[in-house]
Structures are given as C-alpha cells and as structure tokens.
Amino acid sequence: MRGAEKSQMDIKVKSGSITKMDGELAVLGFFEGERLQGPIASIDRGMRGKLKKTLSSENFTGSFLQTILIRPDRPKGLQRLILVGLGKRNEITEDRLRQAMGKGATSAQAIGAKRIVLDCNPHFIGKGTVRAFSQILVEGLILSLYKLDRLKTGNKKEKPIEDCVLVVPENKQVSQAEKGGAQGKVISEAVHFVRDLCNLPSNIVTPSYLAQEAKTIADEGRMQITVLERSDAEKLGMGAFLAVARGTAEDPKFIVMEYKGITGEKPIALIGKSVTFDTGGISLKPSERMDQMKYDMSGGATVLGVMSVISRLKLPVHVVAILPATDNMPSGTAVHPGDVVTALSGKTIEIDNTDAEGRLLLADALAYAARYNPKAMIDLATLTGACVVALGQHAIGLMGNQDTLISELQSAGEESGERLWPLPLWDDYFNQIKGEVADLKNVGGRAAGAITAGLFLKQFVGEIPWVHLDIAGTSWYSDARHPYIPKGATGIGVRLLVRYLTNHSKRKKR
C-alpha cells in the first residue's frame, strides 16, 4: 500500500516464563483489588516483597488504565516492568484488554523501549484462546502507536518499538500465538492505512489517488478491479453520482473491486461513501472545521482496508467492494438546489440540499451493487450530523431491512469493540422524503435526519438484505478518545467488518 507503511515491528513468540526473560521490559495487566497475580505471582520471594512494597507506596490499585513502572534491580530476568490496571475482573472485555495494551505500549515507547514482552496466557483472564488473546494484544499494541508524520520535515519521528515477544506457557501453544499475532498485525496495519487516507489532505487523496490505492490492493490480492470514468458513468445513467461530481475539476472515479476467496457463492457487497473533500457544494458548509472534510471518504477508505485484510488473510468469502469517489465542490457547473436528476435505478431525485451528497453517491452505488445479486449489502458513510446528535461518538448508527443481518453486525460490533446501535426505518418517515416534483427528495428536514437519510437509501436496495452504517460520529475524533484511538481519523469499521466476515465464513462451515 502507498497510503500507509506496513508496520516494521517484528512479532515473535516464545514459550516459558515471562519473569525469566533476561534484560526485557514486560507489559502486564493487573486486576483491581487483587494480590500479586499472573506471571509476577511466581517471582522469587525476595523480589515479591519488594514488589508489594512498591505497589503500596505508589498507591497502585489496578484501576482501569492506571500504570506503574517498576525496576526490579535484579541480575537476571526482567529488568523493567510496566503494570497496567485492568479494572475489576468481572468487567474485563476484549476491548478493555485492547485499551490496556495500548496504554502499556505508549508508556513503553515514552521511556524509549525498543523491545517489549507480553504475557500471552489467557488463563490469567479466565476466558478466550491463546490465538484470540494474541490477536487482541497485538492490535492494542500496534494501533496505539499510530503516527502520521510523513509530511513533516526534519527528524521528528519518535523511536519506535521494534520488537514484541509474545510469551506462552507451553511449546504447543506457539503456533496458535503466531497465528493470532500475525492476524492482529495485518488488521492493525489496515486500520493505519485507513487513518492515513483520512488524515492526509485532499490535494493528495483525490479520487484518482483512491483508484490507484484500490489497484495496488487488487493487484496484491489478485482481485478483479474496474474503475469507471465520468464518461462510463454517463453511459450507464448514474445521474445521482454525476450530480455530485458536476462541480469539481477532479475526475470522479467509480471504483469496483471483487475478491473471490470462495467459489459458487453470491457475494457480500461493501459500499463506502468516498467524498474526498466535501464543501457542501452550492449549499456551502460553514468555514469552521471545514478542513476536516477531507475525511468524508472514511467509508470508502474503510472498505479498501477491509479488502486488504481479507485478501492477506485469505478469508473464504466472496466480496464486491464499491467506492463512488468524487469531490463535492461549488462552481459554475455545480448542481443547484432544486435540480432534479435521474439515478441509475431510474428513480428521479429532487436535490433540495447539495450538502446531502453522500446519499446521492450511495443511491447509484447500491443500485450498481444490486446487479451482482449479492446475498447482502452493507454501506458505510459519514452521512449525517443528525447521527452525531443522536448517538454522539460512542456508537455507529445502524439501519437495515433484515433482522438477521442487523443482529450479526451487532454481534461483530460487540466482539470487536466497534459498537452499533439500531435506529428504526419505519415507513411513517417516508413522507419527509417524498418528492414534490420528483420521486424523492434528498433531504427530509431536521427531524429524524439520520433516519430519513437511511430511508432514502432503502429505496435503492430492493429486497436484498441490506444494512446502512452511519459512521459520522465515530470516524473522526477531535481529541484522543482512548489509548488505541488517537486524535483525528479512527479507522472505524475495519475490525468490525473483518470480524463480521470471519464469523460469516465460520457459520457456513457448520
């Protein structure tokens, strides 16, 4: 990938006792309110007394994300130890583990550690497998160390952690830890890739840039790829997509990728809104924070990240990815409020607000995806400010037309820590988007804005099982939210969809 450098961190696995790793820095979790636990419980008696005294003097209780650095001052074994609070044992989740690992990793990097050791024994937690535990730890480690400094001059990079050693109790567990660690690394690299695409400025990440990134991923993963140009979209009758692209000097790109990790099955279609910069068009946005509108292609970036992961992990799934990519700009050729366009499906749309452009792109992308007769369609979009008002920045807005698909995605969200919350798509809301001079209006007023946007999209999916994910509130943070999600682009959706597709592939084998 050009968008993000692959992590240079080397992940190794060893068997044995973590306390006997000479000259290393270890990052270990510690449950609140419990005595010495896990690997450090077996440390020699003299060291145990000193450790207890240190914890007491520093008032370390193990509360969630509390940290302490300990230097054992011993001739052999561990030389430095970072304990990270896990909180109460009965409150532990995969995501809290990931956050704790992120906190430990950033603490280790801050003191200049080049190499860290992690205990990979899930029995300490009381649940899970070595493979799953290894993946969680590596994800928390790599995700927390994300930086975008390639556009800065001079030697500004922090010295990175170069090596991570996962320690398992027995030799027979080494293979599983290696697989889990490798999977965590691949997924984390894809999240970094997505963050880079969204954080880089729009004069770099243009529709053409996205198309080139898609081609690189397709070539590496032996996927089919088609990039439709403006003239191709005109011939097909993509009036909604082209309406958004009318005002920009950048050539729009309608990107279609297909990964066949299994034969004889209908595909799952992933569609990502890919507005590489959104001014709002003629319905111009306020200037405040408009610079952030470079991340309005988060949905498309996430889809690219997912395609990279499934090909590198060789998941046995069939996936079609669609990215309708363009800028949304005001100009003498830009679409006007009140204009009527004809979408690929044949439906006519009255454009009341040119800043509600994402649903126009997705209308044609969903209709195009339907031509593959997919078993399911999932779209991701930074679609509405109304979803941010409704759910804040803690949950993805979830809407759809099939309970099973909704439930499967909710489960994947809980497992991955990228949570979703359902909103209704009742027909009662339809009058808000019923057109006056066309079939539909692209906005339904202030009330229930996230829902009417989802209901608009529903008009273009037919009977195909479909889910819409509104990631407007979760794809960008003005401040770091927790240890493994930094300020700026979050890369939300990659871990969610990879978990969904992995679960889907497992369900088929039953």
Listing DSSP states for 240-290 in one string gives HHHHHHTT-SSPPEEEEEEEESSSSSPPEEEEE-EEEEE--TTSPPPSTTG
3-state secondary structure of 310: helix
Instruction: Determine which one of 131, 294, 347, 359 is catalytic.
Output: 359
At residue 43, the pLDDT reads 67
Structure tokens at 132: 């799953």
Contacts of 297 (CB under 8 A, 6+ apart): 197, 198, 205, 210, 272, 273, 274, 275, 276, 325
Instruction: Determine which one of 48, 50, 115, 285 is catalytic.
Output: 285
**Dihedral angle computed from the Cα positions of residues 233, 235, 240 and 246, in that order, rounded to the nearest 10 degrees:** 70
The closest alpha carbon to 142, from 162, 112, 168, 113, belongs to 162
3-state secondary structure of 184: helix
Fold of 195-509: Aminopeptidase (3.40.630)
Contact 203, 304 (CB under 8 A): no
Structure tokens at 494: 């990659």
Residue 264, phi-psi category: left (phi > 0), alpha (psi -120 to 50), beta (remainder): left
Contacts of 85 (CB under 8 A, 6+ apart): 29, 30, 32, 60, 61, 62, 63, 64, 65, 66, 67, 100
Contact 184, 137 (CB under 8 A): yes
Could you tell me the residue ranges of all domains in the chain? Answer: 10-170, 195-509
Distance CA 10, CA 8 (A): 6
Contact 279, 328 (CB under 8 A): yes
Distance CA 314, CA 505 (A): 11
Structure tokens at 82: 């970072």
Active site residue 285: yes
The closest alpha carbon to 339, from 293, 272, 275, 281, belongs to 281
Contact 368, 258 (CB under 8 A): no
Q: What is the CA radius of gyration of the chain?
A: 24
At residue 509, the pLDDT reads 65
The closest alpha carbon to 468, from 269, 301, 239, 281, belongs to 269
Amino acid identity at 314: K
281 HSE (CA, 13 A, CB side)? 26
The H or E element that residue 118 is part of is strand 115-119
**Dihedral angle computed from the Cα positions of residues 468, 474, 476 and 480, in that order, rounded to the nearest 10 degrees:** -160
Q: 10-170 and 195-509: same fold? A: no
Question: Which residue stretches of 346-464 are H helix?
Answer: 358-370, 385-391, 403-416, 449-458
Contact 206, 297 (CB under 8 A): no
Distance CA 457, CA 324 (A): 14
At residue 1, the pLDDT reads 47
DSSP 326-344: EEE--STTSPPTT-EEE-T
Chain segment 323-363, per-residue pLDDT in tens: 999 999 999 999 999 999 999 999 999 999 999 999 999 99
The closest alpha carbon to 185, from 24, 21, 308, belongs to 308
At residue 481, the pLDDT reads 82
Taken in order 242, 248, 251, 253, the sign of the CA dihedral is negative
The closest alpha carbon to 144, from 80, 187, 193, 98, belongs to 98
pTM: 0.95
Amino acid identity at 306: V
Residue 305, phi-psi category: left (phi > 0), alpha (psi -120 to 50), beta (remainder): alpha
Homologous superfamily assigned to 10-170: Leucine Aminopeptidase, subunit E, domain 1 (3.40.220.10)
Contacts of 469 (CB under 8 A, 6+ apart): 299, 378, 379, 380, 381, 396, 397, 398, 409, 420, 493
Kindly give the pairing relationship between strand 10-15 and strand 163-168. parallel
Active site residue 131: no
At residue 45, the pLDDT reads 65
Rounded to the nearest 10 degrees, the angle between the axes of helix 298-312 and helix 174-199 is: 150
Distance CA 371, CA 300 (A): 19
Give the count of beta carbons closer than 10 Å to the beta carbon of residue 479: 7
Segments of the chain scoring below 50 in pLDDT: 1
Question: Which residue stretches of 164-246 are H helix?
Answer: 174-199, 207-221, 230-236, 239-245
